[in-house]
Amino acid sequence: MIPYQAAQVSFRKQQRIGENGENSEVYVVHDEHLDAELVIKQVKTDGFNEERFLLEAQLLYKSIHPYVVQVLYACKDGQHIYIAMPYYSRGSLHQVAEEQALTCRQLIRYAIQFLSGLNNIHSKGLLHFDIKPDNILISDTDEALLSDFGFAKNMDIDGYATPEATYRFHLPPESALTRDFNNSADIYQVGLTLYRLLVGLDSLQQQLGAYATGAELARAQRLETYPDLTQIPRHVPKKLKSIIKKCLRYDPDSRYQSVMDLLNDLSSIEDVGLDWHFSTDGGVRRWESISSDGTGLLVEVADNGKCIASKKTSGGTYRKKPKLCEENVTPERIHEILMSSEW
């Protein structure tokens, strides 16, 4: 059969977005034939092995799922592969979290969604190898979709694959010993993604600066002191913290052995204290929760340990909750106050 050479697509680049890869750039474009805004990932090829560079588009296309970003089309010229995907104005989970810290309820909901997409690709024999906040897109209906399959690989018969590259801040600790990984590597990256969304998107870079050598970092990973779980804010439910800790175990066999097990644990977190927004203001840590009827809760803890807890009525007046206001409050007591039934 003689291949049919269709007319070329036509789009106009509008702006570059996201983190650019080693050989790729991502743009918002206007597709002139569709008269629509799309996202184009432009991948530079070597001019000879185009099939290898088209693999990402093929993997995404074969992984169709409600929580995996859809590929609209792929095309090529002499130097680049172009992968077209829907444009979502809210961008990535990284961008959403930069605008305002996520509540635990939001984080759990987004995680369940993109993990459903990850479970789907694992069931099809693929490992992602590049799970991070930038590669989770937020749709126009506020759903989290797994994206960017540039590092994805098919598993072998034993469930292992060897990526050509990985995101250096999300390398699992076993990468110091091997280049063959199973699904526990993706689960480790999920743990780091959830951790960063709670602690701060730049938290890993900041912590890595404390290690002078790779040997020091390897020791910290072995002792499970990196990443530092004590930095997780006090409003995070203990079960969510334990889920993240299990994802980040040094020993791959001690992590979740399937995404479905992880999904089941996330879905079972009790509906208590999930709506706190955490922020800092000078030397004061603030937790605020506002319900749909306008009622608000506010906890402020100063550097000297003084805790002031207040409740805002629907009329907009804040009143102190004397039973929850204390001097020299401990971290454990902060957690108890945030989860208290005395509000």
What confidence tens digit (pLDDT) does each residue in 195-231 have?
Answer: 999 999 999 999 999 999 989 999 999 999 999 999 9
CATH number, position 124: 1.10.510.10
Residue 116 above 90 pLDDT? yes
What confidence tens digit (pLDDT) does each residue in 37-87 have?
Answer: 999 988 887 665 667 767 777 877 878 899 999 988 888 887 888 989 999
- Domain total of the chain: 3
Instruction: Tell me what pLDDT residue 3 has.
Output: 59
Match 């206001």 to its residue by tokens: 325
**Domain presence at residue 106:** yes
Q: Which of 267, 292, 323 is the last residue of a domain?
A: 267
Same domain, 142 and 36: no
Mean pLDDT calculated for residue range 22-43:
88
Same domain, 261 and 181: yes
Residue 2 above 80 pLDDT? no
Same domain, 110 and 177: yes
Instruction: Tell me what pLDDT residue 264 has.
Output: 98
Residue 4 above 60 pLDDT? no
Same domain, 102 and 234: yes
Same domain, 75 and 193: no
Same domain, 219 and 97: yes
Closest CA to 131 of 74, 197, 84, 72: 197
Residue 21 above 70 pLDDT? no
Match 């650019």 to its residue by tokens: 20
What confidence tens digit (pLDDT) does each residue in 130-180 have?
Answer: 999 999 999 999 999 999 888 889 999 999 999 987 788 999 999 989 999
Mean pLDDT calculated for residue range 188-192:
98
Instruction: Tell me what pLDDT residue 51 has.
Output: 72
Mean pLDDT calculated for residue range 78-100:
91
Same domain, 114 and 132: yes
Same domain, 230 and 129: yes
Same domain, 18 and 45: yes
Residue 7 above 80 pLDDT? no
Q: Considering the chain, what is the average pLDDT of its residues?
A: 90
Mean pLDDT calculated for residue range 110-126:
96
Instruction: Tell me what pLDDT residue 148 has.
Output: 86
Instruction: Tell me what pLDDT residue 162 has.
Output: 95
Same domain, 140 and 287: no
Instruction: Tell me what pLDDT residue 24 has.
Output: 79
Instruction: Report how far Cα 226 is from the mean position of its chain's Cα atoms.
Output: 18
Give the rounded percent of residues in the chain with a pLDDT score beyond 90.
Answer: 68
Q: Which of 231, 247, 267 is the last residue of a domain?
A: 267
Say how far apart CA 140 and CA 146 lie, in whole Å.
14
**Domain presence at residue 2:** no
Closest CA to 237 of 331, 104, 340, 143: 104
Give the domain range for residue 333: 277-338
**Domain presence at residue 197:** yes
Instruction: Tell me what pLDDT residue 48 has.
Output: 57
Q: Which of 86, 109, 134 is the last residue of a domain?
A: 86
Mean pLDDT calculated for residue range 15-28:
76
CATH number, position 76: 3.30.200.20
Same domain, 25 and 136: no
What confidence tens digit (pLDDT) does each residue in 282-321 have?
Answer: 889 999 998 877 789 999 999 999 999 999 877 788 899 9
Give the rounded percent of residues in the chain with a pLDDT score beyond 70.
Answer: 94
